[in-house]
Amino acid sequence: MTGAFSSINWMLAPVLVPLAAATATFLLMGLRGRTRRMAQNAIGLAAAVGIAVSALALWAMVSGGGPVRYELGGWEAPLGINLYADGLSVFMLLTTAVVGAAGSVYTLGYFSGREGEDVRRREYFQDETGSFWPLWMFLWASMNGMFLAADAFNLYVTLEILGLSAAALIALGGTRMAFSAGMRYLMVSLLGSLAHLLGVALLYGSFGALDLATLGESASPIPPVWAALALISLGMALKTGLFPLHFWMPSAYTGAPSAASAMLAGLVGKASFYLLLRVWFDVFEGSVPPGAGQIFGVLGAVAIVWGAVMAMKQTRLKTLLAYSSVSQMGYLFLVFALVAGASPERGFEAWAGGIYLVLSHACAKAAMFMAAGVVIYSVGHDEIPRLHGIAQKLPLAVASFAVAGMTMMGLPTSGGFTAKWLLFSASLGTGQWWFGVVILLGGVLAAVYLLRFLNPALIQVRTAKVYRDAPRSMTVAAFGLSLFSLFLGLASAPMLDLLAVGGPFGGGS
């Protein structure tokens, strides 16, 4: 390495910037009221800008010169720890940067409630201890750290930060439901990361190294590798919320403050899915037992239908969205069945389709939870039967919900359309048409459960009582993100080019 300001050091910024911001906002927790909020907001927003800039710099670097590697402490792998960024890493960093930035703007208004305010609501809109920003910054750092990690144990450390900060963010809701949901998530998350750690121990025992590239070179289809793969896959399926391991999702996403629900449902589950993609297709692509992908595929297909059916039965908006996530996570797991035995082009199609869904679902679902937060802020609850005609009072929130919903349904120009089209095409191309049927069915079911809210909300007659207006930062962040998800389908070419950099399947076509 040549100097402190050489471009390679951009790789550290997505991790170090939020960590520094986490420390700074932690130290400011002692300030009171408005002063604390202003100071923490300023630091948090500056960090969001810093992360976005460094993600863009990495995008330019990787698409110009291919994947980059960083030797931390100047030590070569396998002795030292490396960071590694290819198209997939940068894609995930950009996803987090966009959704995280919108989420950061949203929280400016969300936590503007005053202490001692009327609390007969579903959520409190207060951050009495000032811990939202430091927790959120730790969470963001852990996700970015995971996308850049090139070391199996380093992945475990990022998983630990991820799980702890996410659990605390859920419990920040302050209600009995939020506490127990946070506790349950903590248990689930610990179980998931311990399963990963056990797998890593087996890999280290087998090959004497933790560096992913070294592991990939040494790996062969032997029992310890299978056991490690099974453990890591199980742990990450649990953290991603694959049916039937989704049991923690409805309470976690409903109990958390909406500002946190948006980041959890939008981003956190995707991080563990990213780890699965890495392990299956980059590190151990030659050692995965045949047929293993079908297990994930079938569970994913069941999740798509089951989540959608459960979503239809919900009477609370946030719980409906949580079950919608169960359904949408199912799509992601179809990738594992579609890639197995496919030609490189079909394989790339399925793989890229899954990753594109990660981005579009992250934007759309975060926007929808933000919109639900606006509804709760203004009306005091999110009971769908009591939200008749709410569109007249909260037009922007309902519009955000509807626009983001187009990605759930997979309608054209939305990111969800591109993603589901790629998956659909891969399912026909590999002769697994039944998965194609489930993909289409899931879109129809999504339309049904979304209309269960939109239909009464758009009625012109009875009007739900609104007793305060949501701050503009909340509505603008929700609407902006939903628009972004709607037009993602139009920007797919540069994003797919990015994914091809250093990706498996020889970059497709």
Binding positions for another protein, 36-95, rule CB under 8 A: 70-75, 78-81
Our CB check for another protein shows the closer of 209 and 338 to be 209
Report the SS3 class of residue 31. Answer: coil
Our CB check for another protein shows the closer of 122 and 346 to be 122
Q: How far apart are the C-alpha atoms of 385 and 457, rounded to whole Å?
A: 9
341-380 positions binding another protein, by CB under 8 A: 380
151 forms bridges with which residues in the sheet? 211
In the chain, the N- to C-terminal Cα span, in Å, equals 35
Our CB check for another protein shows the closer of 119 and 428 to be 119
Contact present, 486 and 407 (Cβ < 8 Å): yes
* Residue in 39, 53, 69, 179 binding another protein, rule: CB under 8 A: 179
* Residue in 207, 253, 274, 377 binding another protein, rule: CB under 8 A: 207
108-127 positions binding another protein, by CB under 8 A: 119-124
Our CB check for another protein shows the closer of 26 and 463 to be 26
**Which among 404, 415, 403 is positioned nearest to 492, based on CA atoms?**
415
| Min dist. Cβ of residue 53 to another protein (A) | 17
Position 212 contacts another protein (CB under 8 A): no
Position 129 contacts another protein (CB under 8 A): yes
Contact present, 355 and 338 (Cβ < 8 Å): no
Contact present, 248 and 188 (Cβ < 8 Å): yes
Backbone φ and ψ for 52, nearest 5 degrees, come out as -60, -45
- The distance from CA 85 to its chain's CA centroid, rounded to whole angstroms, is 18
Q: How far apart are the C-alpha atoms of 399 and 420, rounded to whole Å?
A: 23
Q: How far apart are the C-alpha atoms of 315 and 317, rounded to whole Å?
A: 7
What would the two tokens of residue 268 be?
Answer: 């956190």
What would the two tokens of residue 402 be?
Answer: 């509807």
* Residue in 20, 57, 298, 466 binding another protein, rule: CB under 8 A: 20
222-261 positions binding another protein, by CB under 8 A: 222-224, 226-228, 230
What would the two tokens of residue 230 be?
Answer: 């099974």
Number of other CB atoms surrounding residue 343 within 10 Å: 11
| Min dist. Cβ of residue 427 to another protein (A) | 31
* Residue in 62, 171, 299, 406 binding another protein, rule: CB under 8 A: 171
| Min dist. Cβ of residue 460 to another protein (A) | 27
Our CB check for another protein shows the closer of 51 and 98 to be 51
Q: How many residues contact another protein, by CB under 8 A? A: 76
* Residue in 40, 107, 189, 214 binding another protein, rule: CB under 8 A: 214
* Residue in 65, 66, 208, 431 binding another protein, rule: CB under 8 A: 208
* Residue in 135, 236, 426, 500 binding another protein, rule: CB under 8 A: 135
Q: How far apart are the C-alpha atoms of 275 and 261, rounded to whole Å?
A: 21
| Min dist. Cβ of residue 458 to another protein (A) | 25
| Min dist. Cβ of residue 310 to another protein (A) | 22
Contact present, 189 and 239 (Cβ < 8 Å): yes
* Residue in 4, 116, 385, 461 binding another protein, rule: CB under 8 A: 4
| Amino acid (1-letter code) at residue 193 | S
Site pattern 380..419 for another protein (x: CB under 8 A): xx--------------------------------------
Of 165-173, 395-403, 425-433, 500-508, the segment contacting another protein by CB under 8 A is 165-173
Our CB check for another protein shows the closer of 200 and 364 to be 200
| Min dist. Cβ of residue 234 to another protein (A) | 9
| Min dist. Cβ of residue 23 to another protein (A) | 5
Of 151-159, 264-272, 387-395, 479-487, the segment contacting another protein by CB under 8 A is 151-159
Position 425 contacts another protein (CB under 8 A): no
Backbone φ and ψ for 85, nearest 5 degrees, come out as -130, 120
Our CB check for another protein shows the closer of 380 and 480 to be 380
Length of the chain: 509
Residues 6+ apart with CB under 8 A from 89: 58, 62, 147, 148
Contact present, 101 and 508 (Cβ < 8 Å): no
Q: Give the Å distances, CA to CA, from 334 to 89, 173, 182, 292, 357.
A: 21, 33, 29, 12, 11
| Min dist. Cβ of residue 79 to another protein (A) | 5
Our CB check for another protein shows the closer of 205 and 494 to be 205
* 56 burial level (CB within 10 Å; 0-12, 13-18, 19+): middle
Q: Give the Å distances, CA to CA, from 136 to 13, 14, 291, 480.
A: 16, 14, 39, 21
* Residue in 63, 131, 413, 473 binding another protein, rule: CB under 8 A: 131
What would the two tokens of residue 117 be?
Answer: 């305010």
| Amino acid (1-letter code) at residue 419 | A
| Min dist. Cβ of residue 221 to another protein (A) | 12
| Min dist. Cβ of residue 95 to another protein (A) | 22
* Residue in 33, 205, 395, 506 binding another protein, rule: CB under 8 A: 205
Our CB check for another protein shows the closer of 8 and 454 to be 8
Tokens 């520094």 -> residue: 20
273-292 positions binding another protein, by CB under 8 A: none
